[in-house]
Amino acid sequence: MDITFRKIAKISLVLVYLVIVAGAVVRMTGSGMGCPDWPKCFGYYIPPTDVTEIQWQADRTFEKGQVIIWNETLQVSKETFTTTNSFNEENWEMYTKHDYAEFNPWHTWIEYINRLFGALAGLATLLLAIISLKFWKKKKRIPILSWLVVVGMVFQAWLGATVVYSVLEPAKITIHMLMALVIVAMLLYIIYLANKENKRIRYDRTVLHFSLIALVLTLVQIGMGTQVRQFVDEQIDIFGYDAKSLWLQNPEVLFYIHRSFSIIVLLINVYLVYRITKLNLGHFKIYWVLFLLVVEVITGIAMNYLDFPFASQPLHLVLASILFGVQFYILLDALKPRKNIKTS
């Protein structure tokens, strides 16, 4: 039963990371408003593929809640009815959450797939929470954390809706991203608590403190990165998608802070690698941290100097979220002293 629980926890974690990947693709392609309503998409459970599906047509039956674009506005069907030869305003009400009324089938389906992954992750975490109740007598933290994950997923879904209603407000996008990392952290903690393996990891207070510092710095860096990404989005609106060389022509101060801050993050983690290796502490995941950081720096340099190569932006974001997860698990391993050692 414990093995099944850990497997479901890991599947939930993978699905949450897939949501982050899908979200990064949504951001890269500008598909955030591909579905203007929530939780449906233009009033459909399965979104439209052709613009004619969201246009008014004579002698056509529209279901209640179905959304069309009419005179550059979103109109919602009040009831199920069949149209006549002319548009009747009494059968429709204007969508008031926002005034974004555009249709791009690619954007619509990219956003829909993002939501689909979110729904799958939500179902997986709900199943995890139900099964976690068997740990109530032995390890209360596991069911408590498992149900907190469910609450977090519900809150994340609500955040997703507010992001759409706000027409992709930068602050809400940042909170949406950071909340995903909170969910990742809780799932990793659940996996850690359910893991009965006797790891050969030696306790060192310095590593504990620097692991915490490294994790916080990564979170700050991710937060700044989402704001830099928002600046890039604004430049895309101004110059167009094909003018990549102009996107960072006159960057904000935050861009330079974000770029320079990566040096601090890298140095802190290099020191951790040095100390863990020198004292043979057993935190072998630290080498993954170093690898992820190097690739992160490479993708960052590529975006800056090679005019945003294909997939470099979502890769940069996804690697940052994986980096956070690995660092958090190292911190968990560092928290619990197994064999104290004397360090200078």
pLDDT of 30 strictly over 90: no
Q: By mean pLDDT, which of 124-128, 236-240, 300-304 is the weakest?
A: 236-240
Question: Which has the closest alpha carbon to 321: 25, 20, 117?
Answer: 20
Q: Which domain holds residue 315?
A: 201-344
Where does the pLDDT of residue 313 fall: very low under 50, low under 70, confident under 90, or very high at 90 and above? confident
Long-range contacts of 295-300 (CB under 8 A, 24+ apart): 295/319, 296/262, 296/320, 296/323, 297/262, 297/266, 300/259, 300/262
Q: What is the C-alpha to C-alpha distance for residues 187 and 94, in angstroms, rounded to an integer?
A: 41
Q: Is residue 301 part of a domain?
A: yes
List, in sequence order, every residue forming a beta bridge with 77; answer none if it has no partner.
Answer: 92
Mean pLDDT, to the nearest integer, of 128-147? Answer: 94
Give the number of other CB atoms < 10 A from CB of residue 147: 17
Q: Is residue 74 part of a domain?
A: no
Q: Is residue 15 part of a domain?
A: no
Task: For the chain, report the end-to-end CA distance as a whole number of angstroms.
Answer: 44
Mean residue pLDDT of the chain comes to 89
Q: How far does Cα 66 stand from its chain's mean position?
A: 29
Q: By mean pLDDT, which of 91-95, 174-178, 295-299, 309-313 is the weakest?
A: 309-313
Q: What is the C-alpha to C-alpha distance for residues 321 and 231, in angstroms, rounded to an integer?
A: 20
Which residues contact residue 224 at a Cβ distance below 8 angstroms, ignoring those fewer than 6 apart? 254, 257, 258, 261
Which residues contact residue 151 at a Cβ distance below 8 angstroms, ignoring those fewer than 6 apart? none
Q: Is residue 222 part of a domain?
A: yes
CATH number at residue 205: 1.20.120
Please say whether the dihedral angle defined by the alpha carbons of residues 202, 211, 266 and 189, taken in this order, is positive or negative.
positive
Q: Is residue 246 part of a domain?
A: yes
pLDDT at 341: 44
The SS3 of residue 94 is strand
Higher pLDDT: 313 or 74? It is 74
Q: Are 76 and 93 in contact (CB under 8 A)?
A: yes
Higher pLDDT: 107 or 338? It is 107
Torsion of CA 86, 89, 94, 100, to 10 degrees: 20
pLDDT at 245: 74
pLDDT of 337 strictly over 70: no
Q: Is residue 262 part of a domain?
A: yes
Q: Is residue 77 part of a domain?
A: no
Work out the percent of the chain whose per-residue pLDDT is above 70: 96
Domain count, the chain: 1
Q: What is the pTM of this model?
A: 0.86
Q: Is residue 116 part of a domain?
A: no
